[in-house]
Amino acid sequence: MRDGKCPKCGGSKIATTRFVVYLGAGLSGPTMDLFVCADCKLCEQYMVGSVEERVSVLDSWKWVQREEGGPFRR
Protein backbone atom coordinates (compact mmCIF):
# COMPACT_ATOMS: atom_id res chain seq x y z
CA MET A 1 0.00 0.00 0.00
CA ARG A 2 3.00 2.26 0.52
CA ASP A 3 3.40 2.35 -3.25
CA GLY A 4 -0.02 4.02 -3.64
CA LYS A 5 -2.02 0.91 -4.58
CA CYS A 6 -4.25 -1.15 -2.30
CA PRO A 7 -3.29 -4.85 -2.28
CA LYS A 8 -6.89 -5.88 -1.48
CA CYS A 9 -9.03 -3.96 -4.00
CA GLY A 10 -6.46 -2.33 -6.28
CA GLY A 11 -7.68 1.17 -5.39
CA SER A 12 -5.32 4.11 -5.70
CA LYS A 13 -6.98 6.55 -3.29
CA ILE A 14 -4.70 6.01 -0.28
CA ALA A 15 -4.55 8.31 2.75
CA THR A 16 -1.55 8.31 5.08
CA THR A 17 -0.46 9.83 8.38
CA ARG A 18 2.30 9.40 10.95
CA PHE A 19 1.60 9.03 14.67
CA VAL A 20 3.26 7.97 17.92
CA VAL A 21 1.73 5.11 19.88
CA TYR A 22 0.92 6.18 23.44
CA LEU A 23 1.69 3.46 26.00
CA GLY A 24 0.19 5.23 29.02
CA ALA A 25 1.78 6.74 32.13
CA GLY A 26 3.58 9.34 30.03
CA LEU A 27 5.39 6.75 27.91
CA SER A 28 5.49 6.98 24.15
CA GLY A 29 5.99 3.94 21.98
CA PRO A 30 7.08 3.58 18.39
CA THR A 31 6.31 6.02 15.62
CA MET A 32 3.99 4.46 13.04
CA ASP A 33 3.05 5.24 9.45
CA LEU A 34 -0.64 4.44 8.79
CA PHE A 35 -2.06 3.84 5.31
CA VAL A 36 -5.82 3.54 4.61
CA CYS A 37 -7.59 2.74 1.35
CA ALA A 38 -10.55 5.09 0.79
CA ASP A 39 -12.37 2.45 -1.28
CA CYS A 40 -12.27 -0.73 0.85
CA LYS A 41 -11.03 0.76 4.18
CA LEU A 42 -8.09 -1.66 4.45
CA CYS A 43 -5.49 -0.30 6.92
CA GLU A 44 -1.79 -1.07 7.14
CA GLN A 45 0.64 0.17 9.79
CA TYR A 46 4.41 0.22 9.51
CA MET A 47 6.80 1.03 12.32
CA VAL A 48 9.30 3.80 11.59
CA GLY A 49 12.81 2.82 12.60
CA SER A 50 14.46 -0.40 13.61
CA VAL A 51 12.54 -3.30 15.15
CA GLU A 52 15.82 -4.68 16.53
CA GLU A 53 16.37 -1.40 18.39
CA ARG A 54 12.90 -1.55 19.98
CA VAL A 55 13.32 -5.16 21.09
CA SER A 56 16.71 -4.43 22.66
CA VAL A 57 15.50 -1.31 24.52
CA LEU A 58 12.02 -2.26 25.75
CA ASP A 59 11.48 -5.19 28.12
CA SER A 60 7.90 -5.59 26.91
CA TRP A 61 8.98 -6.41 23.32
CA LYS A 62 10.04 -10.00 22.66
CA TRP A 63 10.88 -11.99 19.54
CA VAL A 64 8.24 -14.54 18.52
CA GLN A 65 9.59 -18.06 18.85
CA ARG A 66 8.16 -20.49 16.32
CA GLU A 67 7.79 -24.08 17.36
CA GLU A 68 9.24 -26.39 14.76
CA GLY A 69 6.69 -28.90 13.58
CA GLY A 70 3.79 -27.75 15.76
CA PRO A 71 1.22 -29.99 17.41
CA PHE A 72 -0.40 -31.14 14.14
CA ARG A 73 2.68 -31.75 12.01
CA ARG A 74 4.80 -34.85 11.72
Question: Measured between alpha carbons, how far is 3 from 14 in angstroms, rounded to an integer?
Answer: 9
| Residue boundaries of the structural domains of the chain | 1-63
pTM for this structure?
A: 0.69
46-68 residue pLDDT tens: 999 888 877 777 666 777 887 66
Tell me what pLDDT residue 27 has. 75
Q: What is the dihedral of CA 67, 68, 73, 74, to 10 degrees?
A: -140
Question: Measured between alpha carbons, how far is 12 from 74 in angstroms, rounded to an integer?
Answer: 44
